[in-house]
Copies of this chain bind each other. A is one copy, B any other.
Amino acid sequence: MAQDLFANTDLPPEFKAIIGVFALYNQIECELDNVNISPPLTKMEKRVLVFLDKPKRMGVLAEDTLCVPSAVTPVADALEVRGIVSRTRDPSDRRAWLLELTPEGVAARNHIMTEVVSRFRKFSGMSADEIPTFANLAIKAMPGAVEAGLMED
């Protein structure tokens, strides 16, 4: 398949890149599926956890995770009930909610991140030198809509 596809030297590198991204994305998703805490978190919950490296508004998490705000609401609800996040009004704007990890949340996030990061090293097939190269190229593509999250400060 893949290498069958890639044996065709007419294929543009862009196509190879696209297929590679598809495959990598799927692998990351699979690994995230395999890493969990008990009771299990949904895909969405884990994804929000990954991006919650510091207290953030729900709207920002929606941008980070590339979905609409209404998708974050039930995730925040669930994580709050689970005691993984605390949810407080943003003092600088009372329309907005800040989500922040509880100590339990910190532990959960650490577990997930540690696992996924170490598994990335394994499944990516990249050497220790190649990963930063790849990473730097990948984030060049960060779309403006996500970078707009920078405007929150």
Contacts and interface: CB of A to CB of B under 8 A. Distances in A.
Given A13-B135, A124-B17, A1 B141 contact: no
Interface stretch (A20-28, A37-45, A68-76, A97-105): A20-28
Contacts of A139: 2, 6, 16, 19-20, 23
Main secondary structure of the interface of A (DSSP, over half): helix
Interface stretch (A77-85, A87-95, A115-123): A115-123
Interface residues of A, number: 61
Interface of A: 1-6, 8, 12-28, 50-51, 53, 60, 63-64, 66, 113, 116-118, 120-121, 123-126, 130-143, 146-147, 149-150, 152-153
